[in-house]
Structure 1
């Protein structure tokens, strides 16, 4: 029997397409929680909304996770008492969550019911109607459980038991169901969780090859299935379509399509496509044999007519390439990573994921010129990677801070080589989940197998690194693999660094040349750089450049000249980026302050609950260092920033250096109208590595001998032709007169989740900032929204984030306002003793999404 193409098309056209099953997905947001595992208790449950972090409400306490340890990766050999290492917050202990899930009997018809957890901190045990359905120890990873067999018609009780052990983290990990939880139903014949993989193996100006691998479950090996896949561009236009009827081999079907005149994804043009794949049955594949001079056959494919399942997958079209001696290429063009490392906590919001807060972080970093994020040191939240796709950030997705050797007594090393079932160790299961979850996201351009793992020294560690890299290569050959290495001599000597696709070094900028000379890759990445420390608006005198500077106020100087023993000032990494073509760029430690690791104040230095590594503080307010990076990274807008503030009662007549961070080539400083001279950036000599104060002269304009007198600092910037290009003024403030409000946005979505970040500052009667005031501010929010949290960026402040009051730090704080679920006005009022209060009005509107 032979059927012509026209006959086959006509047959398919008249077939009636019916849906046998319905895929559904719903967020499970409303839960009950208690701080133990006594799930039989009738009292003591509180209603919470997931994502939820049980520990962020505090209180801060020196005794919380007090550790006596030697931090080996920081070069310590003697154990000392560490305070605030995990933020001084009560994350240790047990927690229980419960949720009632109604199930209609009609959905127990062969459909699979899945619970998908984006993250649960930690050692999660999931029960349905009293039956344990899964266990997942790693708190940072996404995992799913098929709970079909445990469900029954009517109400079903879901319970999740979590436990955080002492000394299980080096920073604040959060606690609870801190990422979203979903209930997904999948038809009997359908695509499983993370069941599609899209790659773009060839791209040119005319077209892009798109390969789509789709796993289909529920079919007999001999049964034919039809996949009808359509690709849509960002505007919703269909740009490609293909229908294939095949038998499922090895659990998946491969389709190869072409997109003409593709728009490429990049940080500057984050263009996204969507593939919609329909799974149909009822088709057939017939083979017709004919005898002649040669035996041959023809195959007849009839498309399926019963729709079983449909999935959509967002992806991007772009190329990633490494070239020896030349560096990293995106879409065929060389570029340096202008990246930062980010911990997962969101400051005053804790670890509980908020897409609005992540968007705020990325918006601030985008303005700085940042184009890349390293997810330090663990699997990221889905919301972060989605926003990086949309906003244009390249991502280095990292999995582990520990392998099989401990950094923390109860860290991930306990699980790394443990059998998770079926002979697969937990490290491999965690890796597979991460890869399958995120390999369709174009923003991810590199995988990292770990950070500063102790086994860098050993041949066993070399073998583990090779095994982990091979897992990535097998599941996703399209991206290179790196590791954050700090044991420089060991990894060069034992082959650890040589086997990686990318040699990533933490804080070894002064030895980049040595590594480049011997490594076969002929490229180097600054996988973690700087660890410069500073507290916003705090300046110590005399100004000195160097490591481990500590002061009685437990703050770090905002002249941006202090760093940790193992690290350096930012200028040295900026110089390496400019001087070495083979240097891929850097990921600064860190983009934002984070809870825990209060270096250099972690030993006998309570109170200190957060790091001061951040370019932006815990209150989402940029520090001076922000403008240093912006002056080099933001190619779209000029930068002109002057520091310090000019309020120094009692310092009259004393030397008070003035620094200017600018994208202009030169500038002139005036103190009360008197010129202090013109400064121009130094040039690289192209011979010696640019380190220390020599590097500072290339990236900062400095007037080191300015004598303080109250009044006005004015800087005038000049362009390359010597013309006046911009001016900036800083004045000594008068008496504090009023509070000032500056929201990051005035229109919010009325979805009950959107956030506005309202900057609160103190000004004098002329409107000049008063940066040396720390009075108490009270916050009131009314109308179509509510108060969410407050932070001032002070690492020594022990006031709770959840109370609508806090003292200013360096004259500022941030109030976070959350929208309600109905449109309307939100009124924000702030008041403080002795000054005029301030009011601003926000608006919430229904979303068009």
Structure 2
């Protein structure tokens, strides 16, 4: 180690001044954009006058500001993936928001110190929705149709000679019937400028793998691509690996000759590696410095992790030698009231809520994710299945990706894999979801084409696909050809799939599709599929599901009972905009899903605690449902459920015992995972549950009380402080409570907000899938007593003051520190 430190110090003394002349730099183009919806013939011109356009900050989603209207993307279609054969009127299918049409973004930018002979400038888009046409200084530099993928263009030849006052214009277009859910609109992900030396490591130009991993040491292989290097040039590369604390743990110097476009390749050994896992998300950085004739030409850093992933026939998935089942969820890309516009703190909040529930994995349904999500999964410890497409060459939506598949699929796959192949959280690639091609006679050829790209670009990970036509894929060779068989639902066919496929493994790539609305309970309580109610809500007793799907217990049991099942990715972790099943057929105002374990406002539903009780068995869970405010139900049967990690509990209503219930393997699957008292008679007052451990000892109790009339607003911030960077968000739970602080779970008061000081109002959401109130107006009705307020920090430190008021209630005020 003394040798390593000495060598690094010598390198710094030797090359510091030289490198300063060639240092790469990167910055985000986030502010000072001008935006207008509509098409403009000359908007790409440098002389176009955009002063009347709206000034916006990117990431920006033009459609999230509404209004909600059933006319937006009103469709008369048969949803083939849902088994429909007759076209019906679909309302709210894409969220009821005005995402269709053309929009233009314009701004100027400088590249200070630009030298076209010595530098390369890349313009990088993390995603643009969609069909992006990009112009620099009036010249078209490129086109990228797929709105979910990251892409970049070399804009060096298009810049002004001095690098200053360059104009950038981006035309985006969303066509009608181009999506099955809310896709968002605009420059909804970040845009970057990256300046590098002429000879440089290109975008996504490094590839780090760990071909051998043990507790004693790990072998780290690094391949580094270079551009603009003459054939046969001798190069020296020095790479140092540092741990998360910045401590050097390995260093190696190699001299190599660059031939035939091959990358520079090195092996380094890290002793006593800190392995990456969801429980310990340890990360490393590899910093590579490249020399020609002892002159630094580029310096490039790659973040990675050291871990070992294995898929073993009959036995399942292993991480770092330990058998584990995926406790995963599917996530759509929208962020509820923020729409599709990426925000680091909002994504981090989603992942924290899921981690607290016990989730350890995410499937990016059904598209390439924002880089922020994958980076946060690296840091927070969630495994990721990165998914590419919802359709291939055969259409699901009239104007979907099938229009571009033949020409663009390989380009999109290459970008996806190269972008995320160094992220340790990524454990497999998914090449598609419920694609109609799966039932084509030659569908396996298309699947092989995509899988081969993944294997070529990343030989270290296996490939899966979400398949829902089980008979097709078992009979035509489609499923047998793909590395890992991913089944969407069809739990009754897992055993058959296991027996017929050579993999001897089955993955629940999409599971559940249980539907519920937070705080809504319907009577009588019955297990049933595709249930609709007059209030357009689904019951939070968690007994309703779609006709193609099931309740959570089916998947819990499959994961626990068979080694060869690898766990699940639940549909979905959070509610999302669009697909308001089962209220998608002429059922306006429904416009957001009810599949989520957490609602659109980021408030957990009852089902959250069912998953937590199974996925976090070592952490105490004791949750009672429903609430206990039922004026007019006195004397009526009102079942009580308890979700807990304890095996037994006793229920009391106003001191009267309804007896003990214990989880059992001998009853229904629900009785294996839930404690249910089906004969409880409602009477106002107090519900108490006493939990018992496996020895029969009373270890925990919890109570619900009938609330009195609403008295005041309670504001509960999820964090005490935020960074004063103008981007970080603070989330505040807003609750209507009685005088004693009990939640009023049927209250629908409208609450208005005023945010002053070192922050501003950003959005508000109540989680009601039928609410058409706008997210960006500082007033909204609570849904069953609760909603979430979102505020944004300013760039100045200080206190963010939040005031909330509602007619007839005592107002409330809190402050959050911005530093």
Q: After TM superposition, give the deviation of residue 470 of structure 1 in Å.
A: 1.2
Checking the alignment, whether the CA contact within 8 Å between 2:710 and 2:744 is kept in structure 1 is: yes
Q: After TM superposition, give the deviation of residue 650 of structure 1 in Å.
A: 0.5
The equivalent of 1:359 in structure 2 is 348
The equivalent of 1:478 in structure 2 is 460
Checking the alignment, whether the CA contact within 8 Å between 1:217 and 1:251 is kept in structure 2 is: no
- Residues 11 and 528 (structure 1 numbering): CA distance in 2 closer, same or farther, change over 3 Å? closer
Does residue 370 of structure 1 match 2:359?
yes
Q: After TM superposition, give the deviation of residue 16 of structure 1 in Å.
A: 6.1
Q: Which deviations, in whole Å up to 9, do the C-alpha atoms of 1:460-519 show, x marking residues without a partner?
A: 211111111111111111111100000011101111111111100001111111111111
Distance 1:341 1:804 in 2: 30
Distance 2:345 2:689 in 1: 36
Checking the alignment, whether the CA contact within 8 Å between 1:531 and 1:568 is kept in structure 2 is: yes
1:391 aligned to which of 364, 370, 380: 380
SS across alignment from 1:96: strand
The equivalent of 1:32 in structure 2 is 34
The equivalent of 1:695 in structure 2 is 669
The equivalent of 2:719 in structure 1 is 745
SS across alignment from 2:442: helix
The equivalent of 1:56 in structure 2 is 64
Does residue 100 of structure 1 match 2:101?
no
Q: After TM superposition, give the deviation of residue 43 of structure 1 in Å.
A: 5.1
Does residue 276 of structure 1 match 2:291?
no
- Residues 230 and 741 (structure 1 numbering): CA distance in 2 closer, same or farther, change over 3 Å? same
Distance 2:312 2:615 in 1: 23
Q: After TM superposition, give the deviation of residue 369 of structure 1 in Å.
A: 0.3
- Residues 670 and 474 (structure 1 numbering): CA distance in 2 closer, same or farther, change over 3 Å? same
Q: Which deviations, in whole Å up to 9, do the C-alpha atoms of 1:541-576 show, x marking residues without a partner?
A: 111111110011110000000011110111111111
- Residues 232 and 42 (structure 1 numbering): CA distance in 2 closer, same or farther, change over 3 Å? closer
Distance 2:78 2:674 in 1: 36
The equivalent of 2:98 in structure 1 is 90
1:599 aligned to which of 581, 584, 592: 581
Does residue 343 of structure 1 match 2:317?
no
Does residue 491 of structure 1 match 2:473?
yes
Q: After TM superposition, give the deviation of residue 11 of structure 1 in Å.
A: 12
Distance 1:531 1:555 in 2: 15
Q: After TM superposition, give the deviation of residue 823 of structure 1 in Å.
A: 1.2
The equivalent of 1:138 in structure 2 is 146
Does residue 665 of structure 1 match 2:667?
no
1:71 aligned to which of 67, 73, 79: 79
Checking the alignment, whether the CA contact within 8 Å between 1:369 and 1:635 is kept in structure 2 is: no
SS across alignment from 1:47: strand
Q: Which deviations, in whole Å up to 9, do the C-alpha atoms of 1:122-173 show, x marking residues without a partner?
A: 0000000111001000000000000000101221100000000000000000
Q: Which moved more, 1:17-26 or 1:627-636?
A: 17-26
Q: After TM superposition, give the deviation of residue 840 of structure 1 in Å.
A: 1.2
Q: Which moved more, 1:508-517 or 1:376-385?
A: 508-517
The equivalent of 1:4 in structure 2 is none
Distance 1:94 1:66 in 2: 18
Q: After TM superposition, give the deviation of residue 15 of structure 1 in Å.
A: 6.3
The equivalent of 1:679 in structure 2 is 661
1:311 aligned to which of 290, 294, 300: 300
Distance 1:127 1:11 in 2: 45
Distance 2:209 2:171 in 1: 38
Distance 1:260 1:444 in 2: 23
Distance 2:109 2:740 in 1: 59
User: What is the root-mean-square deviation of aligned Cα atoms in Å?
Assistant: 1.5
Give the alignment's TM-score, normalised by structure 1: 0.93
- Residues 369 and 15 (structure 1 numbering): CA distance in 2 closer, same or farther, change over 3 Å? closer
Q: Which deviations, in whole Å up to 9, do the C-alpha atoms of 1:335-374 show, x marking residues without a partner?
A: 0000000000000000000010000001100110000000
SS across alignment from 2:165: strand
2:392 aligned to which of 389, 398, 403: 403
Q: Which deviations, in whole Å up to 9, do the C-alpha atoms of 1:629-677 show, x marking residues without a partner?
A: 0000124421000000011111111111100000001000001100001
Checking the alignment, whether the CA contact within 8 Å between 2:34 and 2:50 is kept in structure 1 is: no
- Residues 10 and 612 (structure 1 numbering): CA distance in 2 closer, same or farther, change over 3 Å? closer
Distance 1:569 1:253 in 2: 51
Q: Which deviations, in whole Å up to 9, do the C-alpha atoms of 1:39-81 show, x marking residues without a partner?
A: 2354531110000000000000010000110001111000001
The equivalent of 1:264 in structure 2 is 275
1:245 aligned to which of 227, 243, 255: 255
Distance 1:167 1:257 in 2: 51
Checking the alignment, whether the CA contact within 8 Å between 1:524 and 1:583 is kept in structure 2 is: yes
Checking the alignment, whether the CA contact within 8 Å between 1:92 and 1:163 is kept in structure 2 is: yes
Distance 2:778 2:312 in 1: 53
Distance 1:810 1:527 in 2: 32
Checking the alignment, whether the CA contact within 8 Å between 2:648 and 2:660 is kept in structure 1 is: yes
Distance 1:91 1:15 in 2: 55
Does residue 120 of structure 1 match 2:128?
yes
Checking the alignment, whether the CA contact within 8 Å between 2:634 and 2:684 is kept in structure 1 is: yes
- Residues 830 and 404 (structure 1 numbering): CA distance in 2 closer, same or farther, change over 3 Å? same
Distance 1:308 1:16 in 2: 10
Q: Which moved more, 1:209-218 or 1:96-105?
A: 96-105
SS across alignment from 2:510: strand
Distance 1:155 1:188 in 2: 22
SS across alignment from 1:103: coil
Q: After TM superposition, give the deviation of residue 107 of structure 1 in Å.
A: 3.1
Distance 1:789 1:724 in 2: 44
Q: Which deviations, in whole Å up to 9, do the C-alpha atoms of 1:368-424 show, x marking residues without a partner?
A: 000000000000000000000000000000000000000000000000013xxxxxx
Structure number with bigger Rg: 1
Checking the alignment, whether the CA contact within 8 Å between 2:729 and 2:791 is kept in structure 1 is: yes
The equivalent of 2:3 in structure 1 is none
1:584 aligned to which of 540, 562, 566: 566
- Residues 16 and 615 (structure 1 numbering): CA distance in 2 closer, same or farther, change over 3 Å? closer
1:320 aligned to which of 272, 284, 309: 309
Aligned length: 801
Does residue 730 of structure 1 match 2:704?
yes
Q: Which deviations, in whole Å up to 9, do the C-alpha atoms of 1:511-536 show, x marking residues without a partner?
A: 11111111110010000001000000
List alignment gaps of at least 5 residues for structure 2: 1-6
SS across alignment from 2:414: helix
Checking the alignment, whether the CA contact within 8 Å between 1:120 and 1:176 is kept in structure 2 is: yes
List alignment gaps of at least 5 residues for structure 1: 1-7, 283-304, 419-425, 685-692
- Residues 538 and 492 (structure 1 numbering): CA distance in 2 closer, same or farther, change over 3 Å? same
Give the alignment's TM-score, normalised by structure 2: 0.96
Q: After TM superposition, give the deviation of residue 244 of structure 1 in Å.
A: 1.1
Does residue 205 of structure 1 match 2:215?
yes
Checking the alignment, whether the CA contact within 8 Å between 1:593 and 1:612 is kept in structure 2 is: yes
Checking the alignment, whether the CA contact within 8 Å between 2:104 and 2:172 is kept in structure 1 is: yes
SS across alignment from 1:321: strand
Q: Which deviations, in whole Å up to 9, do the C-alpha atoms of 1:71-110 show, x marking residues without a partner?
A: 0111100000100000000000000001101233543333
Checking the alignment, whether the CA contact within 8 Å between 2:136 and 2:167 is kept in structure 1 is: yes
The equivalent of 1:289 in structure 2 is none
